C-alpha cells in the first residue's frame, strides 16, 4: 500500500479493510456496469449506510480535483439510493517513488482539508494505514476505533480514545527514560498506562516511578514531577493518560 498503484493498490486496500473487520468490502471495478463512467474503486457496506472509496497511487501529491472527485460519486450514490447515508473517502499513496519518511505528510494542504470537511468526505494516505497496522498490533488503538475514525470528515486521524492530556515534557533525562513534566489537577500513579505521541504516532509506556523534589511518590496530581517511563521519550513528544470509564 506504500508502493503500488492501480489494481494492485485497490486489491491491497480491500485486503486491509477486511483485516480491519469491515463486514462487506467490494471491488466496485469488478461489478461496474458503466465502465466509461468514473466510479468509486471500493464500496464498503455499513450497518447504517455505504462507504465509497476512491484510491490513487501517484508520483506527487493530490490536486484539488483528485481530492474532490469522490464527492461527485457520493452525490450520485445518494440519489440512486434516495438516502443521505453515503460516506466518501479518498485514499492516496502519494510520492510513491520516495521512501515514506521522505514524503510530505500529511499530503494535503489546508484548503483541501477544509474543503473535505465542508463536503463531508474524508482524506487519508496509505502511509497512515501502514502505521495504523502497527499501532493496532501493539494494542495502542483498536480495530473498532480505527473503523470509526475512517468514517470521519476532513483529514482522518487515528487516535486512541479516552486520552487525557498530561503535558509536553520540559526536560528529557537518562537517555529518554526520565522526563520532567508540570501537571495541574491530573492524578498520576505508579503503573499507570501512558501514551507518548510524536508526529501523530503513539507508543505505550508504563509509569514506573514518580518523584517530586527527588522524593519518590506512589501518586501525584500537581506540580513539577520527574517521571520514569518503561519506553524512551523524545523531545517535542506529548504525554497522554488513558482515562478508563
pTM, 2 dp: 0.87
pLDDT at 245 over 60: no
pLDDT tens across 98-153, in order?
999 999 999 999 999 999 999 999 999 999 999 999 999 999 999 999 999 999 99
pLDDT tens across 58-84, in order?
999 999 999 999 999 999 999 999 999
- What pLDDT shows up at residue 72? 94
Count of beta carbons in the 10 Å neighbourhood of residue 137: 8
Count of beta carbons in the 10 Å neighbourhood of residue 20: 18
- What pLDDT shows up at residue 38? 81
Q: How confident is the model at residue 44 (pLDDT cuts 50, 70, 90)?
A: very high
From the list 243, 242, 239, the residue with the least C-alpha distance to 181 is 239
Specify whether the CB–CB gap between 52 and 77 falls below 8 A: yes
Q: How confident is the model at residue 244 (pLDDT cuts 50, 70, 90)?
A: low
pLDDT at 29 over 80: no
- What pLDDT shows up at residue 81? 93
pLDDT tens across 201-230, in order?
899 999 999 999 989 999 999 999 999 999
Q: How confident is the model at residue 243 (pLDDT cuts 50, 70, 90)?
A: confident
pLDDT at 39 over 70: yes
pLDDT at 31 over 80: no
- What pLDDT shows up at residue 112? 97
Q: How many CA atoms lie within 13 A of 143 on its CB side?
A: 9
Specify whether the CB–CB gap between 188 and 225 falls below 8 A: yes
- What pLDDT shows up at residue 221? 93
Q: What is the mean pLDDT of residues 20-41?
A: 82
- What pLDDT shows up at residue 201? 86
**What would the 3-class secondary structure string for the chain be?**
CCCCCHHHHHHHHHHHHHHCCCCEEEEHHHCCCCCCCCCCCEEEEECCEEEEEEEEECCCCCCHHHHHHHHHHHHHHHHHHCCCCEEEEEEEECCCCCCHHHCCCCCCCHHHHHHHHHHCCEEEEHHHHHHHHHHHHCCCCCHHHHHHHHCCCEECCCCCCCEEEEECCCEEEHHHCEEEEEEEEEEEECCCEEEEEECCEEEEEEEEEEEECCEEECEEEEEEEEEEECCCCCCCCEEEEECCC
Amino acid at each position: 500500500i506504500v508502493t503500488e498503484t492501480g489494481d494492485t493498490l485497490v486489491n491491497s486496500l480491500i485486503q486491509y479493510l477486511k483485516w480491519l473487520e469491515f463486514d462487506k468490502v467490494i471491488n466496485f471495478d469488478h461489478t461496474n456496469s458503466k465502465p466509461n463512467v468514473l466510479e468509486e474503486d471500493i464500496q464498503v457496506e455499513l450497518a447504517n449506510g455505504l462507504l465509497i472509496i476512491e484510491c490513487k497511487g501517484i508520483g506527487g501529491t493530490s490536486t484539488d480535483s483528485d481530492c474532490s472527485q469522490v464527492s461527485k460519486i457520493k452525490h450520485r450514490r445518494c440519489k440512486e439510493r434516495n438516502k443521505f447515508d453515503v460516506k466518501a473517502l479518498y485514499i492516496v499513496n502519494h510520492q510513491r517513488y520516495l521512501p515514506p519518511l521522505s514524503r510530505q505528510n500529511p499530503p494535503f494542504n489546508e484548503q483541501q482539508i477544509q474543503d473535505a470537511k465542508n463536503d463531508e468526505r474524508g482524506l487519508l494516505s496509505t502511509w497512515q494505514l501502514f502505521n495504523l497496522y502497527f499501532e493496532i498490533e501493539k494494542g495502542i488503538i483498536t480495530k473498532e476505533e480505527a473503523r470509526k475514525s475512517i468514517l470521519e470528515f476532513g483529514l482522518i486521524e487515528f487516535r486512541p480514545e479516552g486520552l487525557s492530556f498530561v503535558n509536553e515534557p520540559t526536560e528529557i533525562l537518562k537517555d529518554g527514560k526520565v522526563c520532567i513534566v508540570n501537571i495541574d489537577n491530573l492524578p498520576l500513579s505508579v503503573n499507570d498506562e501512558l501514551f507518548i505521541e510524536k508526529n501523530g504516532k503513539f507508543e505505550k509506556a508504563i509509569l514506573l516511578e514518580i518523584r517530586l523534589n527527588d522524593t519518590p511518590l506512589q501518586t501525584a496530581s500537581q506540580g513539577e514531577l520527574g517521571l520514569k517511563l518503561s519506553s524512551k521519550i523524545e523531545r517535542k513528544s506529548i504525554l497522554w493518560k488513558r482515562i478508563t470509564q
